[in-house]
Amino acid sequence: MSTISNFPLLAAAKRDNINALLIGSFIAIDMSKPLLAWSLNGAALRMCQTLGYQRKMTKLPQEEQDRNGMLFWNCYMMDRNTSLRLGRAPQMPDYDITVPLPRLCPTFSDALVHMQNFWIEGARIQGVISEKLYSPRALTESQEHRASIAKTLVTDLERAFDLRIKAQDIILPPKDKEQCPSLEPILAGDTIAHWSMMTLVLQAVATSPEAKAEALTAARTTLRLSRDLTQTHKGNVYAWAMYCNWVALHSPVMTAFTTLFSNAIANFQGPAEDMELMEAFVRSLEPVRARFEGIDKFYQLCSVFYEVAASCVRLKQQQAEAQKTLPSIPEAVTSTGETMTLNDFDQYLSAIGLPLQDSAMNPLPDSSSFGGNNANFLQDWYNANTSLYGLLDQDFTSFNDMAFDAQ
């Protein structure tokens, strides 16, 4: 990164500089620095725009068109991925893009083209999610309008994923699986990324019990797939590190995690599987946390969520029993020896970024009273998810003190 730090701000717009900035953004993702990746890629996109890579250029030789287009689409994907992750607007609008999608040609392998086209479509959908479902303007639209957009996005996600499934044997032929063990978890991550985006779309319009159930189903599916993948691939440290950086941290998997977190607290008598899936996701980061500072921070962050949820659920269960016999209010004891009642948890939950109802007024909220999906709550919930990624740049030394144990 020392080379990137010395990169001139007003460097000439040329292919080599775009490649350098794009590679720098890839390295930043590996370092769990999404804001740096977003900034570097933004500079690369502006160079692409200066050179006209986002436009169809029929006067150039076909091979040069293909290479320029592939370079641009990589910048496009990084832009949409990091923008959604950080809660920012995409840096290049779709209406300014006329360059064709990558095509099957001698310049690139068929496997690469199929993968790129799936990822590009996913990136396009991520841009629409940001703009049409979660942006400040989108939250002023009627629920019916946003529900219509969400329905279209669900269809788009399903269609893109169906094409991805059909191309699986082209992307990774069965005979090559044993020779490419590092690729399989990354490719399997496409399924997890698909369901995490589905969760984000469905959560945006989850105002009815049926819609909330659909969002929860998508979130559970995301973390079940992650758990199953962990069991089969976590032993390959190199491949698993790539998965953690490029799928667990780079796609909206955190959305599925916080969706189950919210549901577990709101419905303490709900399925025990939610807590089990959250714990499994936290443990999936353990094999590589010592090698990557960003993954270690993400592990600590998710651990805090899990510990808070587990303690809060235990306290609510104890409070429900206490109401039958009227003893003292259950308490939790932190690792520093301080006692906490259930009402004290609101401060901690707000501190880690999630807006909650006042538990003092409603100590045992149900799913209808917890986090109703009005515009204010939805904006707070989405902003919380994006802000949590920003915490990865903070000092986490004090996180180890945030341990709770219900008494």
pLDDT digits (tens, 9 = 90+) for 341-374: 555 555 556 555 555 544 333 433 343 333 344 5
Using H for helix, E for strand and C for coil, what is the string for 111-124?
HHHHHHHHHHHHHH
Given the structure tokens 């690792």, which residue do they identify? 335
Token pair listed for 5: 């730090």
Tell me: the pLDDT tens digits for 323-333? 766 555 445 54
Contact 138, 108 (CB under 8 A): no
- Rounded Cα gap, residues 99 and 349, in angstroms: 45
The sheet with strand 331-334 has its strands ordered as: 339-341, 331-334, 404-406
pLDDT surpassing 70 at residue 54? yes
Contact 380, 387 (CB under 8 A): no
User: What Cα–Cα distance (Å) separates residue 21 from each residue in 8, 38, 87, 88?
Assistant: 11, 10, 22, 20
Q: What is the pLDDT of residue 361?
A: 34
Q: What is the pLDDT of residue 360?
A: 36
Contact 49, 43 (CB under 8 A): no
Higher pLDDT, 206 or 72: 72
Higher pLDDT, 241 or 177: 241
Residue 317 binned pLDDT confidence (cut-offs 50, 70, 90): confident
Tell me: the pLDDT tens digits for 2-40? 666 666 667 788 999 999 999 999 988 888 788 889 999
Tell me: the pLDDT tens digits for 134-174? 998 998 999 899 999 999 999 999 999 999 999 988 888 87
**H helix or E strand, kind and range, residue 333:** strand 331-334
- Count of residues in the chain: 407
Stated pTM of the model: 0.84
Contact 93, 137 (CB under 8 A): no
